[in-house]
Amino acid sequence: MRTPVCDQLDIEFPILAFSHCRDVVAAVSRAGGLGVLGAVAFSPAQLEIELDWIDEHVGGRAYGVDLLVPAKYIGVEEGGLDASKLDEMIPEEHKRFVNSILEKYGVPTIPADEAVQVRRGAGLLSWSHKGAQPLLDIALARQGVRLIANALGPAPDFMVQGGHDAGKVVAGLVGKRQHAERQVQAGVDIIVAQGYEAGGHTGEVATMVLVPEVVDAVGDTPVLAAGGIATGRQIAASMALGAQGVWCGSVWLTTEEAETHPVVKEKFLAATSSDTVRSRASTGKPARQLRSAWTDEWADPSTPDPLPMPLHGMLIAEAQGRIARAAATNPGAKDLVNYFVGQAVGQMNQVKPAAQVVLDMVDEFIVAAERVAHLVDPDS
């Protein structure tokens, strides 16, 4: 199962695991893959704490950090606006609509100081050029960080140049062939071709179509397949399409280490591959997530359209905090609560340690590869 990407990243298996949970990141790296920490929700101080912990628990193995600098967002010309200016842009109509959802489902309030803290945290999300730079500097200073990744647009110059100056590998996530070509022009070292099936922000082209298109378009730049990949059979299929490895996110959400909300984890374990929806209801950009009463309310044609990033995230931050806080005991909040997940959720029906998921993937890959190899007649 070894490919050139393994040598590039100093890993045993070409399995990259995106997760917001440090425990998953460390477990996958220890198992021979590369855990990649999603850092957008962390302040610089918090990221230092997370990376300190990973460094202590990763067993000397390499890991990665994923940032989020969209090509388009409100305030992009300034590199990012402060929270107070952004808050002034949120229409009262949208605020009333969010409050009406909470009232309709009987979601209880939270203490005022906690509400302020949640809203302030949403304003500090490091989705902008200004917000990402301090996180990047922290990640680049870590010896154990081997990979820096960016999504929602070409990796910005400061990320590519900074990564290369620090001896790191830089990756860019794409959903179209044209996006991949722009990433190569930006100087990234690895392309992650993420298909429509993926959880989180994703485009409209399916993985089976996207991966070979991207492989053919980017020449010698290695490609990782992403979207709908949760088993070794799907890894084997990705390799057959020309990928040198895989980037997986959803499959780790039901592992023992995952910090997934307990109610959401139960929903994932019971869900089928038809129970997700690509919606702007959670970030303002199209993102695949578990369908719930929350996504249904925003899909109603009579309701306001979701706001662009990052206004939508700020709009709903307190509501999402209230929903998550009450979901275990409040029926309305349980109906509303959801999270990003791909169509592979239908295969995520058992809780396992993250390391076991990696090893199962490797075993399944070997079986699948041997099965395909037997179809080739050596005498033909």
pLDDT at 314: 87
Q: Which residues of 221-231 are buried (b: 16+ CB within 10 A; e: fewer)?
A: bbbbbbbbbbb
Q: State whether 149 and 218 are in the same domain.
A: yes
Q: State whether 191 and 208 are in the same domain.
A: yes
Q: State whether 50 and 175 are in the same domain.
A: yes
Q: State whether 55 and 199 are in the same domain.
A: yes
358 to each of 15, 139, 218, 240, 354, how far by Cα in Å?
8, 25, 28, 19, 7
Q: State whether 44 and 142 are in the same domain.
A: yes
Does some domain include residue 197?
A: yes
pLDDT at 124: 46
Q: State whether 35 and 141 are in the same domain.
A: yes
Q: State whether 67 and 85 are in the same domain.
A: no
pLDDT at 212: 98
Q: State whether 325 and 186 are in the same domain.
A: no
Angle between helix axes 354-373 and 232-240 (nearest 10 degrees) is 50
Contact 277, 245 (CB under 8 A): no
Q: State whether 156 and 57 are in the same domain.
A: yes
Residue whose token pair is 């949403």: 122
pLDDT at 48: 96
Does some domain include residue 275?
A: no
Q: For 2-36, how does the pLDDT look when each residue is reduced to its tens digit (9 = 90+)?
A: 999 999 999 999 999 999 999 999 999 999 999 99
Q: Residue 62 is part of a domain; what is its CATH number?
A: 3.20.20.70
Q: Which residues have CB under 8 Å from 270's CB, separation 6+?
A: 349
Q: State whether 13 and 160 are in the same domain.
A: yes
Q: Which residues have CB under 8 Å from 31's CB, separation 6+?
A: 13, 354, 355, 358, 359
Does some domain include residue 183?
A: yes
Q: Which of 193, 47, 56, 218 is nearest to 132 (CA)?
A: 47
Structural domain that includes position 18: 4-73+127-254+347-373
Which two three-digit tokens encode residue 119?
A: 């809203």
**Total structural domains within the chain:** 2
Contact 241, 305 (CB under 8 A): no
Does some domain include residue 201?
A: yes
Q: State whether 115 and 214 are in the same domain.
A: no
pLDDT at 123: 46
Does some domain include residue 88?
A: yes
Q: State whether 250 and 103 are in the same domain.
A: no
> In a structure prediction context, what are the per-residue pLDDT tens digits for the chain, which is 380 residues long?
899 999 999 999 999 999 999 999 999 999 999 999 999 888 899 999 999 999 999 999 999 999 987 666 565 555 555 667 778 889 999 999 999 999 999 999 877 766 555 554 444 455 666 778 889 999 999 999 999 999 887 788 888 999 999 999 999 999 999 999 999 999 999 999 999 999 999 999 999 999 999 999 999 999 999 999 999 999 999 999 999 999 999 999 999 999 999 999 999 999 999 999 999 999 999 999 999 999 999 999 999 999 988 889 889 999 999 999 999 999 999 999 999 999 999 999 999 999 999 999 999 999 999 999 888 876 65
Check residue 68 and report its DSSP letter: E
